[in-house]
Structure 1
Amino acid sequence: MPGTRDASVDTIQRELTAFARRARATAARLHPELPLVSYTLLAHIDEREGCRATDLAAHYLLDKSTVSRQVASLERLGLVERRSDPADHRVQVLHPTEAGTRLLSSTHASRRAAYQERLGDWSAEDLARFADYLLRYNSAVTAE
């Protein structure tokens, strides 16, 4: 049924857009000076225990100038610092500062609580299926 498939794709697009808007608004409430993109980059840097700006651009399919502006903002806020790569001193690796790590820890707890509340009545099977679908969707996006 092509009409049903099209309607489903339209619903997914609409709901993902609403999700992104809510995510931006939530990020703004958690730290007014830290846009969602910056928060996402900071979290990625922390998860990887350091990475290069070019790695961020490639992973999130962002222009290098966008990443550069976001990283500069994170540095101004004292949340990220650059360190020379021990294997190649010409390469700068981004690392979260102690303040950056603290910010991520505090926001992670509040974000997790919000998701727990929103998904509280979902079964474990529904959560696992939803997580698998999101992983599948995001894998397809990064493969483009």
Structure 2
Amino acid sequence: MTRPSSQAPPDPGAGSSPDPITALEHEFMALMRRGRAQMGERARAVHPRLDPACYPLLVLLGRADAVAMSELLADLAIEKSTLTRRIDAAARLGLVERTTDPQDARARLVALTPEGRERLTALQREQTARWRRRLSAWDTADVEQLTALLRRLGDGLD
């Protein structure tokens, strides 16, 4: 199977030079495709039976001790029933657990289990090392600029 070219198709109205917005969209879509594939690989690295859709949940939980379901709903931008299914799936694998919120006995918090945190942390260390190797020839200023531009693009997508 051949891999799709990352070169943007030319804009018919622009002669032979590609339209920068069309090229940006093409590259963004290619990046998203590769990102989805990597999310699947990362999910399997955490646990062979982990659904890739659950991986962003684990990443959010990895940033805190415990997170309210309402916060997860907002951050993941998914329906409550979808979040519940993802939490249930990760809990069955021993990666997350629900606890009662000490501030509100009616509310539930979600947290990584010690095993879930250990697996996620190990994977994230590997990923950070891989990023460092990939970008080792880049100037720090270029990495910082790319980060700022991606943040700016992401903020504009809301």
TM range (shorter): 0.7 to 0.9
Identity %: 28
Equivalent residue pairs, number: 138
CA gap of 1:16–1:103, structure 2 versus 1, over 3 A, is farther
1:11 equivalent to 2:23? Answer yes
Aligned partner of 1:39 in structure 2 is: 55
**Structure with bigger RCO (C-alpha 8 Å, 6+ apart):** 1
1:78-97 mapped onto 2 (5 Å cutoff): 78-97=94-113
Conservation of the 8 A alpha-carbon contact between 1:84 and 1:92: yes
Q: Which amino acid counterpart does residue 134 of structure 2 have in structure 1?
A: R
Q: Which runs of 5+ in 2 are unaligned?
A: 1-13
Q: Cα distance 1:50–1:10, how it changes in 2: closer, same or farther (>3 A)?
A: farther
CA distance in 2, matches of 1:23, 1:35: 15
Inter-partner Cα distance in structure 2 for 1:140 and 1:52: 26
TM norm structure 1: 0.83
**Does 2:146 align with 1:134?**
no
Q: Give the structure 2 partner of residue 52 of structure 1.
A: 68
1:19-71 CA-partner distances (Å, limit 9, x unpaired): 22222322333414234431111111120321122211211222222222211
Match of 2:39 among 27, 30, 41: 27
Q: Secondary structure at the match of 1:11?
A: helix
CA positional deviation for 1:122:
1.4
Task: Answer with 1 or 2: which has the greater Rg.
Answer: 2
Counterpart among 103, 114, 119 of residue 119 in structure 2: 103
In structure 1, runs of 5+ residues without a counterpart are none
State the TM-score, normalized to the length of structure 2.
0.76
